[in-house]
Each structure stands twice: as structure tokens, then as C-alpha cells.
């Protein structure tokens, strides 16, 4: 009994121990470590292979991806450019104002009853006295097409850059969009003698913001002034034509990144008539804004 009791005392309780069981001694343990290292390297090469294959897939589709981004963000649709004695819109957007100019004075731009000298809008003297004509203001929204096009055949005679502030047009854009969402609101405001768009307090950018002006002598022998106005969020006003260059109606002249406003001054000639009105949506290079 004493022997049995002693045996029990020695074997119980069994201490808890965690062992890594190996068979065959230290040599087998070294082999297992080698096999573990091999498995790790195998997983690493497998993951690396997947990354390489994925990268190749991206490279193979790079052209398609960049094409998608270009057409999705930099919209540049084809346009049907009209023939004949017409002047087309230089921009895609909503017509904010159509104003008759007399003796170089714009009766009003945005602020009701506040006349503006044409030089204050162009930020420079016209190439010759601008007696009579029209001013068409086109607001380009941030989601639209931002490519500008030539209104008529002619020659670019001068480029003028005004490095003023880039003023924020966001509030004006919101009001324009909200106004357009209510059918007949623009027409009703015009009938009541009110400004079609209630953005007088948000429209200081029209005369104060940075801009580029292109003076084009068109096939009539009259002048067109294309004024591209910069927004706060505009990165650049890109110009793809140069002084002295002959240009064609509907030709791409540049781009405003990303949207803003483009104003068109049209020098009057006998028989000329404006064909758009406030509230119309126009398309660069395609919509006829005047005939002659």
C-alpha cells in the first residue's frame, strides 16, 4: 500500500505542459523549420504573383480608364456646326442676359439700372470704338461641357488677360438652378420688369473676376469679343488659339476648368438679329445666337 500510495503521490496531479512534439530529435526539428520557411516564401510569391497580374491588368486597361475619365470629367461631345450667315454660341450653358449696347455703354449687366462701360467688362479698350451691338452672357455650370468654341469664321486679332481675383460663383449657380426648376419663373420675372435671375447680390464676379478676352474680326468685318470669366474654383483658362490665327466657326478655342461664365460681345451690322433669349440653354459651336 505504501508503494502504491507513493506512486500515486508522484503521478498525481499531472502538471500541465505545452509541448511541440517532434520525432527523431534535433535533425527533424531543423527540417520542419526549413519546411515552414518554404511555405512562408511560397505564400509570399503567390501574393506577389497576384499583385503583378493585377498590375498588368490595370496597365492593359489604362487606355480605357483614361478615356473614361476624359469623357466623364472633361466632356467634349461632337457638335453639328451650322453653315450660313450665323453666329454660334461660344459656350454650353444658360443665357443669363441679352443686352443691347449703345455708344459703348451697356445699359445694365446684372444689376438693374446700373450702366456699365464696355471697357469695364473687357478690361481694356476695344480695337476700334464699339458703338452698337449686343452682349450675351452664358453661365456654364460645373457639371456641363467646359470646352469653348469659336462663334464665327475670322481672325484672332488680340488676346487680353486680366489677372484679377477668382470670385466664388457658387451662390449664383445655386440660385440659377433653383430658378430653372420652377416652370415659367424666368418668363414671369421678365413680364414684371424684374431681373430674370435674382442674383444681383451674387454677381459681382461679372465685372471683378479674372478673365481672358479674345478679339476676333469675323467674316462680316465686324468684331466679336469672347470674354471668359474665372470662378473661384477655376484652375486655369486654357487657350488653344493665338493672335493672328485664322479660325473657323465651331472650332475649339480653349477650355475653362471647371465651368464659369462666357460672355459674347457682337458688334452690330445691318440685318443682324439675335436669336436667343434669357433662360435658353445653348450649346457651344451648335446653337445659333445671331444671324446676319
pLDDT digits (tens, 9 = 90+) for 151-203: 999 999 999 999 988 888 888 888 888 888 888 888 888 788 777 787 888 88
Clarify whether residues 1 and 89 are in a common domain.
no
Clarify whether residues 43 and 102 are in a common domain.
no
Q: H or E stretch including 36? A: helix 26-60
Range scoring the smallest mean pLDDT among 23-32, 40-49, 183-192: 23-32
Per-residue confidence band for 62, with pLDDT thresholds at 50, 70 and 90:
low
Residue 72 lies in a domain: no
Nearest by Cα to 256 from 174, 139, 153, 158: 139
- Specify the pLDDT at position 33: 60
Residue 109 lies in a domain: yes
Residue 75 lies in a domain: no
Clarify whether residues 103 and 181 are in a common domain.
yes
Clarify whether residues 6 and 136 are in a common domain.
no
Burial of 52 (0-12, 13-18, 19+ CB in 10 A): exposed
Name the residue with cell 443669363. 96
Per-residue confidence band for 251, with pLDDT thresholds at 50, 70 and 90:
very high
Clarify whether residues 20 and 115 are in a common domain.
no
- Residue 153 is classified by DSSP as S
Quickly count: other Cβ atoms within 10 Å of residue 278's Cβ.
19
Clarify whether residues 135 and 49 are in a common domain.
no
Q: Which residue has the higher pLDDT, 128 or 66?
A: 128
Measured CA angle at 250 (ends 241, 266), to 5 deg? 85
Q: Which domain holds residue 180?
A: 81-291
Clarify whether residues 17 and 135 are in a common domain.
no
pLDDT over threshold 90, residue 19: no
Name the residue with cell 505504501. 2
Clarify whether residues 167 and 277 are in a common domain.
yes
Q: Which CATH number covers residue 141?
A: 2.70.70.10
Phi/psi for 184 (5° steps) reads 80, 0
**Percent over 70 (pLDDT), the chain:** 78
Average pLDDT over residues 114-119: 93
The number of distinct structural domains making up the chain is 2
Clarify whether residues 218 and 132 are in a common domain.
yes
Query: How high is the mean pLDDT of the chain?
Result: 83
Amino acid at each position: 500500500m505504501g508503494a502504491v500510495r507513493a506512486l500515486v503521490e508522484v503521478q498525481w496531479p499531472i502538471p500541465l505542459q505545452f509541448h511541440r512534439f517532434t520525432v527523431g530529435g534535433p535533425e527533424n526539428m531543423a527540417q520542419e523549420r526549413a519546411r515552414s520557411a518554404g511555405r512562408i516564401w511560397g505564400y509570399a510569391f503567390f501574393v506577389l504573383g497576384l499583385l503583378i497580374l493585377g498590375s498588368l491588368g490595370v496597365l492593359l486597361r489604362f487606355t480605357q480608364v483614361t478615356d473614361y475619365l476624359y469623357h466623364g470629367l472633361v466632356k467634349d461631345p461632337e457638335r453639328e456646326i451650322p453653315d450660313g450667315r450665323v453666329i454660334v454660341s461660344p459656350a454650353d450653358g444658360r443665357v443669363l442676359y441679352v443686352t443691347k449696347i449703345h455708344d459703348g455703354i451697356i445699359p445694365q449687366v446684372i444689376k438693374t439700372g446700373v450702366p456699365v462701360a464696355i471697357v469695364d467688362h473687357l478690361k481694356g479698350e476695344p480695337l476700334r470704338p464699339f458703338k452698337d451691338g449686343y452682349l450675351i452672357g452664358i453661365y456654364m455650370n460645373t457639371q456641363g461641357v467646359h470646352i469653348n468654341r469659336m462663334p464665327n469664321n475670322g481672325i484672332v486679332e488680340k488676346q487680353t488677360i486680366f489677372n484679377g481675383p477668382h470670385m466664388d460663383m457658387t451662390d449664383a449657380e445655386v440660385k440659377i438652378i433653383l430658378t430653372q426648376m420652377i416652370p415659367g419663373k424666368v418668363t414671369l420675372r421678365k413680364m414684371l420688369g424684374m431681373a430674370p435671375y435674382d442674383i444681383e447680390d451674387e454677381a459681382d464676379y461679372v465685372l471683378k473676376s479674372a478673365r481672358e478676352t479674345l478679339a476676333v474680326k469675323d467674316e462680316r468685318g465686324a468684331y466679336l469679343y469672347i470674354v471668359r470669366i474665372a470662378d473661384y474654383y477655376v484652375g486655369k483658362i486654357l487657350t488653344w488659339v493665338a493672335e493672328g490665327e485664322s479660325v473657323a466657326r465651331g472650332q475649339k478655342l480653349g477650355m475653362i476648368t471647371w465651368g464659369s461664365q462666357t460672355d459674347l460681345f457682337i458688334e452690330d451690322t445691318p440685318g443682324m438679329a439675335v436669336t436667343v433669349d434669357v433662360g435658353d440653354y445653348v450649346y457651344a459651336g451648335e446653337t445659333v445666337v445671331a444671324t446676319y
